[in-house]
Amino acid sequence: MGAEQDRLRSPVWKRWGPYVSDRQWGTVREDYSENGDAWNYSTHDMARSKAYRWGEEGIAGISDDRQLLCFSLAMWNHKDPILKEVLFGLANKEGNHGEDVKELYYYLDNTPTHAYMKMLYKYPQSPFPYVQLKEENARRTREEPEYELFDTGLFDRDAYFDVTVEYAKAGPEDILVRITAHNRGRKSAYLDLLPTLWFRNTWSWEEHAYKPGMGLGAAGIAVVHKDVGVKACYFQEGGEALFCNNETNPHRLFGNDTTEEYFKDGVHEHVVHGLNTVDPRRMGTKAAVRYALYIPGRKSQTIRLRLSPRDLDGGGYDAFADFEDVFAQRIREADEFYADLQQKIQDEDHRRIQRQALAGILWSKQFYYYNVQQWLAGDPTRPQPPSARYAGRNHDWWHLHNDDIISMPDKWEYPWYANWDLAFQCVTLALVDIGFAQHQLELLTKDWYMHPNGKMPAYEWAFNDANPPVYAWATWEVYQMGKESNGGRGDRDFLEGMFQKLLVNFTWWVNRKDTRGNNIFEGGFLGLDNIGVFDRSTVLEDGILEQADSTGWMTLFALTMLRMSIELAHANKRYLDMVSKFFSHFVYMAGAINSSIERGGGGMSSLWDREDRFFYDQVRRFDLSTVRLKVRSMVGLIPLYAVDVLDRRALNQDPEFLRHVDWFLENRPDLLALTTRWAAEAWEDRHLLSLVRDRRLKSVLSRMLDEAEFLGPTGIRSLSKVHENEPFLFSTTDRTFGVRYLPGESDNDMYGGNSNWRGPVWFPVNFMLIRSLQRFHDFYGDRFKVPYPTGATDYRNLGDIAHDLGARLIALFTRDAQGRRPVFGAREKFQTDPHFRDHILFYEYFHGETGEGLGAAHQTGWTALVANLIQMHWSK
């Protein structure tokens, strides 16, 4: 076992990590407006002058696990109007496709304990084009692509700096910092590097609150905080320590006169404008060490700092004597850690992609602080928030008090946890840190997260939204991964604890999202933003939207709870009742989505269309008639997820459950036949439970694997390509809605317009399709083959098809025969420049035809699943 694995056993090694957000401005937590306009209440322009209430932001930022003391990098190229302290991007209504970060940065390496971390930021030497990026994106229509920093041409002649930030821990709170600036251009250029240390403002919100401090000593910056282990920041010669306070500048932001001085933006004002805005006493709650560098063309310079638990003693301690040795050791240990994980991966490019995907998801941890009751009420020393907030956003989540390290989908685009994103993140995190993955799954089931009614919080913009119920599936995946890595011994305490809370959540879904009580579920947009004809969260005037995806998710939920019950019953027979309970739920749900029994008023209960042989959503009107929404989309493929194989030998110990099955065989053979042929089809003592059986499975697969429909060059599209020339139209009394295949960005602003489910390839749903095909293959083997692709003469089993789909997704990032990565699209410099071509960006989704990356550029929240696919690819 390597050194990093040894460190994972001790929680103290995670006391410091990349827990600082990439963006705190524009978040719900910092919004105290009456109308909930978070993007305008705190902005990028305000960020340098405003002390935040709930969190901190920075470039390559780290902090302790309470985010009391933070460290990040600021820069200035002597041409910009502001310091580069935080990452710039457009607010939601400023971008032609929603909010978007307009920077180039890469998370290159990280280990689970953050003993070694590496991040790269690309900083232009010309003035940063803040205005140009805003104006050009505002001018562009939705039919045009986003205008990115790279598109400005600032990188064309290599007149930029590659700034690499590395961290290596000599101990849990002894952190070495190495910052290297490479001048990639031919000409010499000025660059100020300002590594910055500051306390999160915890003292301005309550009377008599404790206020820490820092000041310059003989050997570095002394840090004084009663709850922080770091006592000093040592820095090498050549740096000038500048001090101010992490407090809001009321004059700049609000025009208020004040007698106080040295505000949060003091360092910025001093460096950029030469003003006397830093404390001459060299003390405060924020400090930056300014290194004014002049770097020759094609050369680099490095600065070194150390955050140390040692007090400044005036001399005798050489903080940099072992500096390079510690770095070399931690890098070597990181290489050993990933070499162990990647033993079977023979392709160097695959190893590089997987390691960067894992680096991204490990960098995306964040201290997330949000006390909704306090947020609604306001703080004692601040003006009272508008009373309208008590009826506004998240007002009924007063119990929620989050104060933890949580994995974020993307710390700029989505610097807040999202329910179903986090579930997928945990499946990837389990590759390198099973304990943290389990902890993350457990968090959202805690009393201070989960609503008393059993609802899990969705995300801070609307905790009440319903995300797909994938937590049971993710729990089972993580449990199985832990069991496999632990010699077949699973963590039953984890599984049992999660089962109990998931049981509460399951009950919420059954009671709240099955309006008619017929096992056909609603749920709203369910994370698939604009996939429907209209906003699926809209309350319809004349009926209810019954959803194939919601019903598929819920059937998977029931089936996974059944699987957990069987596992837990091995050690505790009381869970046998749960086996029967969830088998019944599964059978009734399967019967509802598949049945063609007519109900009163001529409506059908089934979401299966016998004419098209596909699953669709439908509107059930209050007169019980139905209108089927024949959009061939991911909605109709999600029912494939509900599949599992049960070992009869494991069930023989439960005669009560087998009697329960016999009851269904005798009394409801019609329902049981839809899900399993229990008596006739126990292949090798195994039973298949699925929402789709032989003929219907082949029908759905014939569309899914059709290159003219769902099967794209780099994965399964989220909408059938048939709708490119045949858009689906739906008319109401006053307007007509339409759905058209869009392989790239969205052409409408439904749900903010910052994502598109009308054609592109998305990783999470593709990953689950692959896992489902593998489960079908576990049962059928070579007894079930289909043409692949549809219409081909070559018939393939489902295991081989799953393997090929995984390879298509991996191929998004790998070099093709011409040495090009599809993810980079037509950007030639990304494809060929040695300083770009191997730095991977993990986008939110991918063009359905070309594979070009779209949406959020650092969405390792679920695109990091490529790491799992690579592991699976080489384990076959």
Tokens in use for 287? 């400090």
What pLDDT is stored for residue 668 in this prediction? 82
The answer, yes or no, to whether residue 260 has pLDDT greater than 60, is yes
Confidence check: pLDDT of 602 > 60: no
Token pair in block for residue 129: 């084009």
**Judging by beta carbons within 10 Å of its beta carbon (0-12, 13-18, 19+), is residue 827 exposed, middle or buried?**
middle
**pLDDT at 244 (0 to 100):** 98
Q: Which residue has the tokens 């006493």?
A: 281
Triad 214, 220, 226: Cα angle to 5°: 35
Query: How many angstroms separate the Cα of 788 from the Cα of each of 720, 785, 796, 804?
Result: 17, 9, 6, 10
Element (H, E) at 809: helix 798-810
Alpha helix locations (H) across 457-599? Answer: 471-485, 492-512, 548-569, 576-594
- For 179, phi then psi, to 5°, come to -120, 120
Residue 72 has pLDDT above 90, yes or no: yes
What region, left, alpha or beta, does residue 766 occupy, with left being phi > 0 and alpha being psi -120 to 50 degrees? Answer: alpha
Decide if 88 contacts 308 (C-beta within 8 A): no
Q: Are the beta carbons of 125 and 81 closer than 8 angstroms?
A: no
The span from the CA of 475 to the CA of 871, in Å, is: 19
For residue 599, pLDDT beyond 60: no
pLDDT at 680: 62
For 139, counting Cβ atoms within 10 Å of its Cβ (0-12 exposed, 13-18 middle, 19+ buried), the class is exposed
- Tokens read off for 645: 């194989």
Q: Give per-residue pLDDT as tens, 722-749.
A: 999 999 998 877 778 889 999 999 998 8
**3-state SS, residue 395:** coil
Contacts for 250 with CB less than 8 Å, ≥ 6 apart: 256, 258
User: What pLDDT score was predicted for residue 659?
Assistant: 82
pLDDT at 600: 41
Chain-centroid distance of CA 464 in Å reads: 19
Helix (H) or strand (E) holding 154: none
Q: Closest Cα partner for 355 from 334, 332, 327?
A: 334
Q: Rounded to an integer, what distance in angstroms lies between the CA atom of residue 846 and that of residue 761? A: 5
Q: How many CB atoms lie within 10 A of CB 233?
A: 27
For residues 105 and 536, the model is more confident at: 105
Between CA 690 and CA 869 the distance in angstroms is: 23
Q: Average pLDDT, stretch 280-292?
A: 98
The Cα 862–Cα 357 span in angstroms is 10
864 near 360, Cβ under 8 Å? yes
Read off the pLDDT of residues 148-192 as tens digits, 9 standing for 90 and up.
999 999 999 999 999 999 999 999 999 999 999 999 999 999 999
Alpha helix positions (H), 23-141: 38-41, 44-47, 130-139
- Identify which has the larger pLDDT, 518 or 164: 164
* pLDDT at position 681 over 70: no
| Of 341, 254, 242, 255, residue with least CA distance to 286 | 242
- As a whole-number percent, the residues of the chain with pLDDT over 90 amount to 86
Structure letter (DSSP) for residue 467: -
pLDDT of residue 650: 72
Find the length of the chain. Answer: 876
Given pLDDT bands bounded at 50, 70 and 90, which one contains residue 315? low
Is residue 587 within 8 A of residue 605, CB to CB? The reply is no
Lowest mean pLDDT among 414-418, 516-520, 711-715: 516-520
- Of 98, 86, 20, nearest in space to 529 by CA: 98
What are 763-798's pLDDT values in tens digits? Answer: 999 999 999 999 999 999 999 999 999 999 999 999
What is the rounded distance in angstroms from the CA atom of residue 191 to the CA atom of residue 123?
10
Q: Residues 6 or more apart from 573 whose CB is under 8 A from it?
A: none
Residue 268 has pLDDT above 60, yes or no: yes
pLDDT number for residue 540: 85
Mean of pLDDT values over 199-218: 96
Q: Mean of the pLDDT values across residues 101-130?
A: 98
Average pLDDT for residues 561-580, to the nearest whole number? 92
Residues 28, 729: Cα–Cα separation, whole Å: 36
Strands 686-690 and 160-171: unpaired
Average confidence (pLDDT) over 679-696: 81
pLDDT at 648: 77
Got the DSSP string for 560-628? HHHHHHHHHHTT-GGGHHHHHHHHHHHHHHHHHHH---B-GGG-BS--EETTTTEE-EEEEETTS-EEE
Are 77 and 191 contacting, i.e. CB atoms less than 8 angstroms apart? yes
C-alpha separations of 850 from 744, 758, 833, 853, 865 in Å: 9, 15, 21, 9, 20
pLDDT value for 258: 79
Q: What is the pLDDT of residue 661?
A: 80
Query: Is the pLDDT reported for residue 603 higher than 60?
Result: no
Q: What is the pLDDT at residue 171?
A: 98
- Its sign, for the CA torsion 255, 257, 260, 262, is positive
Residue 732's CB is within 10 A of a number of other CB atoms, namely 12
- 414 within 8 A of 408, measured Cβ to Cβ: yes
Q: State whether residue 506 is helix, strand or coil.
A: helix
Lowest mean pLDDT of 11-15, 323-327, 527-531, 807-811, name the range. Answer: 527-531
Cα–Cα distance, 126 to 121 (Å, whole number):
15
Residue 60 φ then ψ, to 5°: 55, 35
From first CA to last CA, the distance across the chain in angstroms is 25
> For 634-673, how does the pLDDT look when each residue is reduced to its tens digit (9 = 90+)?
999 999 999 999 887 777 777 878 888 878 778 888 777 7
Please report which confidence band the pLDDT of residue 596 belongs to, taking 50, 70 and 90 as the band edges: low
Task: Find the mean pLDDT for residues 349-374.
Answer: 98
Task: Judge contact between 522 and 543, C-beta under 8 A.
Answer: no
Angle at 720 between CA 717 and CA 724, to 5 degrees: 115
Which three-class secondary structure state does DSSP give residue 170?
strand
φ/ψ (deg, to 5) at 781: 60, -135
**Inter-axis angle of helices 576-594 and 655-667, nearest 10:** 20
Least confident of 312-321, 396-405, 501-510: 312-321
- Tokens for 814, please give them: 């790998």
Could you tell me the two tokens for 756?
Answer: 């598109």
Cis peptide leading into 639, omega within 30 of 0? no
What are residue 232's DSSP bridge partners? 222, 308
Q: Over the stretch 12-57, which tens digit does the pLDDT of each residue have?
A: 999 999 999 999 999 999 999 999 999 999 999 999 999 999 999 9
Nearest to 622 by CA among 598, 591, 600, 648: 600
User: What is the rounded average pLDDT for all residues in the chain?
Assistant: 94
Give the chain's count of helices (H) and strands (E).
23, 34
By the 10 Å C-beta count (0-12 exposed, 13-18 middle, 19+ buried), 875 is classed as exposed
For the cut 70, the answer to whether the pLDDT of residue 682 exceeds it is no
The answer to whether 448 touches 464, Cβ cutoff 8 Å, is no
